[in-house]
Structure 1
Amino acid sequence: MQKIKTLLGIVSAALLTFNSFSFAGEGEAKKWVNDEFQPSTISKSKQMKEMKWFVNAAKPYAGMEINVLSEGIPTHTYESKTLTKAFEEITGIKVNHQILGEGEVVQAVQTQMQTGRNLYDGYINDSDLIGTHARLQLAVNLTKWMAGEGKDVTLPTLDVDDFIGKSFTTGPDGDLYQLPDQQFANLYWFRKDWFDRPEIKEGFKAKYGYDLGVPVNWSAYEDIAEYFTDDVKNIDGVRVYGHMDYGKRAPDLGWRMTDAWLSMAGAGSVGMPNGVPVDEWGIRMESGSCNPAGASVSRGGAANGPAAVYAIRKWDEWLRQYAPPGAAAMDFYQSLPALSSGNVAQQIFWYTAFTASMVAPKSSGNKTVDDNGTPLWRMGPSPKGPYWDEGMKLGYQDAGSWTLFKSTPVDRRKAAWLFAQFTVSKTVSLKKSHVGLTIIRDSDINHKSFTTRAPKLGGLVEFYRSPNRVLWSPTGINVPDYPKLAQIWWQQIGDVNSGAFTPQQAMDRLAEEMDLVMSRMEAADKANKTYGGCGPRLNPEKDASHWLNQAGSPKAKRDEKPKGKTVAYEDAWK
């Protein structure tokens, strides 16, 4: 009797497992292709061919349940709620796609790297960690994975060369370590309807001697901020301000700065996608080397040089003088509703990830679109600081990218890789791009559906179709260990906002602490090859004049208030 009961239990369990994925297959794929994954850059027949490949490749993993992690933006919400459902119905693999804050994602990544415990089977992790992953060799080298152990689960039509952020996820060895999943830039945002008002234009030119328009340099941005805050003051009965930002001493203040604020001011060197030898963090790494040499000016870095100090000083001054009351006490998330409330004229540092919410209808409370849903605002190129030189990167571009770890069991890693590719496949990618507006493929941004939609997106399409988009890039390979170094920034710069330290004092402390942390990395790498021989090798300290008197970065003090310069919006992306 007991044997019968045991047998029945086994059969019941098997039936439950079978039922959970017995409907996976081409019929379900056809439903999703017809009902959800339109438009697409490929024909329905080619979409079905891709989906048939997923059905067959997933068969060994059908019934498996895996866990992946990402930060919270609309693109990942779509993946978590819609694409997991589609993937399970088509392949029989259940995906728990968890969403946490960006800092918590980095913490989870760091914990898995340090402990070797498999917390998640896949991560959508910023490509800012490319220097970390390439050195520690704890993340899977995707180039080798796709050609070797993961070949049987690598989509033949993945078309890696179609990804516009491929260079961001490529290590110093030329291999791919992460696969872009979503991408957004940090651009200039302004109320074009206000800038176009004749009385506002006339008043600005009378005071400053040049036309009101998209600011080309920081001097013009400052003039416009001052003008709207102190001269215009009120528009249609609403008190308006010429700038928006945030300053609370919290982790998001760190990536407010490491997301290329210093580079926008001009602190780094010429070079794409990041400065060589000095990047936007102020870290020096010589061309052809994989060993960071220091962040302090005394070691050839630029984290506490004149350009970096200027950048922090202007962030602090503008926040206090031209932003709405209370902005200095806000964190990133608290500051987000400010633009849609309709009382800010411009913002120098605005993430295009929030385009979807900024084109929400007027009925939702968005005061920056007209009755037809057309934006009253536009996005333009980031203004250049006085230390910026031709050939430098101009701003930041986030590339949240699929990252796999060697500590994940191979079968779970393969199932996660299948889901990762599903979310970026040509079958799915264009529709996902229209939902989250975080475009990753050249074929997507050049599709006719984005040509049609462009007037409703405030300049997003124009940016991604511009050859100049390469001037915006993520953190690069000079940063040897992102989690360890990133946490230094918000703590030191938060002390500027509190008044505890001047910008120079704060950046001196920041550069010194980064060098200290990198010296420990250097010792570990020399002793144990912790960073694969590519850990820091710090330069000996010299007087700052040794470096500041040389060409390139770090740069000696310049005229920090040249005449303001603007350009008409219609010419801004040319």
Structure 2
Amino acid sequence: MNRLLMTTTAVALGLTGPAFADMEAARAFLDNEIAGLSVLTREEQEAEMQWFVDAAQPFAGMEISVVSETITTHEYESQVLAPAFSAITGIQVTHDLIGEGDVVERLQTQMQSGENIYDAYVNDSDLIGTHWRYQQARNLTDWMAGEGADVTSPTLDLDDFIGLDFTTGPDGKLYQLPDQQFANLYWFRYDMFTDEKNMSDFREQYGYELGVPVNWSAYEDIAEFFTGRDLSHMGIEGDIYGNMDYGKKDPSLGWRYTDAWMSMAGMGDVGEPNGLPVDEWGIRVNENSQPVGSCVARGGATNGPAAVYAVTKAIEWLEKYSPPTAAGMTFGEAGPIPAQGNIAQQMFWYTAFTADMVGDGADAVLDEDGMPLWRMAPSPHGVYWTEGTKIGYQDAGSWTLMESTPVDRAKAAWLYAQFVTSKTVDLKKSDVGLTFIRESTINSDHFTERAPRLGGLVEFYRSPARVQWSPTGTNVPDYPRLAQLWWQNIGDAMSGDKTPQEALDALCEQQEQVLERLERAGVQGDLGPVMNEEQDPEYWLSQPGSPKAKLENEDEEPMTVSYDELIQSWQN
């Protein structure tokens, strides 16, 4: 964010104090921006802001830079919270917004060079396995108790954060502080599903009730039913599609699969927040959390029957039930399409798009009172899935301090990270971006009142189902190197250049090449890979758990559930 825009924003908020820690600027911020939208009382807000004013005094006048990907939440931080923090503390913050892949690239460059590129990163917790093994990110547990104790807020309240399991290493240490969190869920047109004619026609054609699909068989039936269906009786014109996805050979195609599509199919082992010993990437670890293989021949599952089933179904549904243009779209291009009104359901929909679904330009999916015609619900699972296995992904963009950042700059950045996640600020920030990180915010009266306009988002985050959605776990030892392999190989399958089996065979082999290089280099010490010897795949497929042997019939009995009954069960 440029300095002129920061200054303009600060003036608009009434933040015109001197370039030193300033309680008057804090009060102006509370009056003009927070305006009572906080879980804290005004007295508690002022006390929390006073702590920031006092703690920041040694750093007044310092200029720091931080970076995050570009989503609504981070835009709010960059455009509103950063200038407010600067006016309140005297620490001048430049909060850059760049693509997710660019964030990982900058982080990787800082890790490899030791050069301090940014003073803090909002970096997905998908890198927790990387940070824990390389030990180049500051261990926040020790930091808060030691070197960073004087700049750690007494009101931080870690117990209030919902994503700490995702940012904690196997050593029990916290490596990242959650800043925003959103899930991939099932999205559907509630009005289409509860229309009497649609319900009657579906029951007559398929022999069971139209509702939220519990498994992939039901999802497929519903996709077939709505694709090409005439909904003029509902006043909906144009071509209707029963599925939405994307398939362009682009880095975002990799996220589509590493973001738990395989575990939704049932590829991984039982476990929360991630399957062990085999995770949602198909990587197997030993009892010391050391990766031992990715291919079935080494006990992994990346090229196993469940993974092949997962990719096969995604391609089939993209071709049969999605808009013709979807195959050439990226994540960012496909995300807004359901808001145009002709998509009946989407298996893999990120709640980060909720703000767009209830705002300007979403008239096609809102009623005349501005209430959503859509809902979100738990994603259905594939035929290989078993109870206790994760069933979806949560993105947990989290503050990360690198060891290569000088201590004084890390302290100043840590103050900013705590400011934008503080209880004073979090309710207002969540109201803007709808990416929850605190229990107190989720359970606030404000979101009880707003919940009916958010299509099930609040109900999901208040429900026990939430724990089955999690980011990439600690089995992945080097996210930057391994993630780039996924989109290239999956892209070969999506384009038809390779069969799903061929593409996944290549993927697991390439993952193992990276694991073997890490093992030989010894750069991760006792935490790095120790590869299993290859065996006949049938040995591993005959063992309990993942990798799982191919089922004779991959078409299970379809099941649906009433959305209203589902929500009621959560509330009870």
Is 1:534 equivalent to 2:533 in the alignment?
no
1:243-276: CA deviations, max 9, x gaps? 0000000000001100000000000000010001
Query: Given the alignment, which residue of 83, 99, 111 partners 2:109?
Result: 111
Partner of residue 317, structure 1: 316
Match of 1:400 in 2: 397
| Higher Rg of the two aligned structures | 1
Q: Which one-letter code corresponds to 1:566 in the other structure?
A: T
TM-score by length of 1: 0.94
1:552 counterpart (523, 542, 545):
545
Deviation at 1:23, TM superposition (A): 5.9
Which amino acid in 2 is paired with 1:71? E
Alignment partner, residue 424 of structure 2: 427
Distance 1:52 1:333 in 2: 40
What residue number does 1:543 align with?
536
Query: Equivalent residues in 2 for 1:9-20 (5 A)?
Result: none
Of 156, 175, 178, 1:177 maps to: 175
Q: Retained in 2: the 8 A contact 1:233–1:241?
A: no
Does the Cα contact within 8 Å between 1:105 and 1:125 map onto a contact in 2? yes
Partner amino acid, structure 2, of 1:461:
V
1:507 maps to a residue whose letter is L
Report how far residue 290 of structure 1 moved. 2.0
- Which residue of structure 2 lines up, in the alignment, with residue 189 of structure 1? 187
Residues in 1 aligned to 2:204 and 2:550: alpha-carbon distance in whole angstroms:
31
SS, match of residue 301 in structure 1:
coil
Q: Distance in 1 between matches of 2:98 and 2:65?
A: 13
Distance 1:244 1:329, change over 3 A: same
Q: Which moved more, 1:427-436 or 1:20-29?
A: 20-29
Question: Which string of whole-angstrom CA distances, capped at 9 and with x for unpartnered residues, describes residues 497-544 of structure 1?
Answer: 21110001000110111011100011111xxxx113111111100011
Could you say what secondary structure the match of 1:401 adopts?
strand
1:106–1:22 distance in 2 versus 1, CA, 3 Å: closer
Please list the CA deviations of residues 70-101 of structure 1 after superposition, one character each: whole Å capped at 9, or x if unmatched. 00110000000000111011101111100011
The residue aligned with 1:80 is 78
- Aligned counterpart for 1:497 among listed residues 463, 476, 494: 494
Q: C-alpha root-mean-square deviation of aligned residues, in Å?
A: 1.2
Aligned to 1:564: 558
Provide the residue aligned with 2:476 in structure 1: 479
* Cα distance in 2 between the residues matched to 1:118 and 1:23: 25
Corresponding residue for 1:226?
224
2:229–2:240 Cα contact (<8 Å) kept: no
2:212 corresponds to: 214
The amino acid across from 1:270 in the alignment is V
> How many aligned positions are there?
549
| Structure 1 residue 237 displacement after superposition | 2.2
- Asked if 1:102 is matched to 2:133, the reply is no
- Tell me the distance in 1 between the aligned counterparts of 2:411 and 2:504: 44
| 1:359 alignment partner in structure 2 | 358
2:460 maps to 1:460: no
1:28 pairs with 25, 40, 58, which one?
25
Segments of 5+ residues of structure 1 without an aligned counterpart are 1-18
Separation in structure 1 between the aligned mates of residue 65 and residue 30 of structure 2, nearest angstrom: 25
Shift of 1:26: 1.2
Q: 2:414 aligns with which of 400, 404, 417?
A: 417
CA distance in 2, matches of 1:516, 1:272: 28
How much does 1:366 deviate?
Answer: 3.4
Whole-Å Cα distance in 1 between the matches of residues 99 and 367 of structure 2?
Answer: 32
The match for 1:66 is: 64
Q: What percentage of residue pairs aligned between the two structures are identical?
A: 61
Q: Secondary structure at the match of 2:292?
A: coil
Work out the CA distance in 2 between the residues paired with 1:36 and 1:339: 32
Which stretches of structure 1, 4 residues or longer, exceed 4 Å deviation after superposition? 230-235
Residues of 2 paired with 1:501 and 1:280: CA distance?
22
For 2:46 and 2:231, locate their aligned partners in 1 and report how far apart those are by CA, in whole Å.
Answer: 57
- Name the CA distance, whole Å, in 2 between partners of 1:264 and 1:491: 21
Partner of 2:252: 252
Per the TM alignment, residue 34 of structure 1 is displaced from its structure 2 partner at its CA by 2.3
Q: d(CA) in 2 for partners of 1:347 and 1:125?
A: 27
1:380 aligns with 377
Q: Give, in whole Å, the separation in 2 of the partners of 1:472 and 1:365.
A: 27
* Helix, strand or coil at the partner of 1:501: coil
Deviation at 1:340, TM superposition (A): 0.8
CA distance in 2, matches of 1:520, 1:365: 49
Question: Does 2:87 correspond to 1:89?
Answer: yes
Q: Structure 2 CA distance, aligned partners of 1:300 and 1:260?
A: 19
- Where does 1:230-245 land on structure 2 (aligned, <5 Å)? 230-232=228-230, 236-245=236-245
In 2, the alpha carbon distance for the partners of 1:92 and 1:384 equals: 50
Distance 2:223 2:556 in 1: 16
Distance in 1 separating the partners of 2:347 and 2:467 = 18
- Secondary structure, in 3 states, of the residue corresponding to 2:285? coil
Query: Once the 2 structures are TM-superposed, how far is the Cα of residue 571 of structure 1 from its aligned partner?
Result: 2.3
Q: What corresponds to 2:306 in structure 1? A: 307
Following TM superposition, by how much is the alpha carbon of 1:21 offset from its aligned partner in structure 2, in angstroms? 3.6
8 A contact 2:375–2:455 mirrored in 1: yes
Residue type of the alignment partner of 2:445: K
Pairwise CA distance, 1:451: 0.3
Match of 1:146 in 2: 144
Aligned equivalents of 1:250, 1:572: Cα separation in 2: 36
| Residue matched to 1:334 | 333
**Cα distance change, pair 484–22 in 1 and its aligned pair in 2 (3 A):** closer
Deviation of 1:163 (Å): 0.5
Matched, 1:524 2:518: no
Residue identity opposite 1:283 in structure 2: I
Which one-letter code corresponds to 1:36 in the other structure? Answer: E
- The AA in structure 2 aligned to 1:531 is Q
The reply to whether residue 134 of structure 1 matches residue 132 of structure 2 is yes
CA displacement at 1:22 relative to structure 2: 4.1
Provide the rounded CA distance (Å) in 2 between the counterparts of 1:54 and 1:265.
46
Query: 3-state SS of the aligned residue for 2:66?
Result: strand
Aligned to 1:350: 349
1:292 maps to 291
Deviations 1:326-375 (A, max 9, x none): 110111111122111101000000000111111114xx353111121110
The residue aligned with 1:450 is 447
Q: Which amino acid aligns with 1:397?
A: Q
1:484, 1:20 → 2: CA distance? Answer: 45
Give the Cα separation in 2 of the matches to 1:552 and 1:112: 38
Report the CA distance shift for 1:232/1:285 in structure 2 as closer, same or farther (over 3 A).
farther
Superposed displacement of residue 120, structure 1: 0.5
Unaligned runs of 5+ in 2: 1-15
1:132-188: per-residue Cα shift (whole Å, max 9, x none)? 000000000000000000000000110111100000000110000000000000000
Q: CA deviation at 1:570?
A: 1.3
Report how far residue 378 of structure 1 moved.
0.1
Deviation at 1:572, TM superposition (A): 2.5
- Between the aligned partners of 2:120 and 2:17, the Cα distance in structure 1 is 22
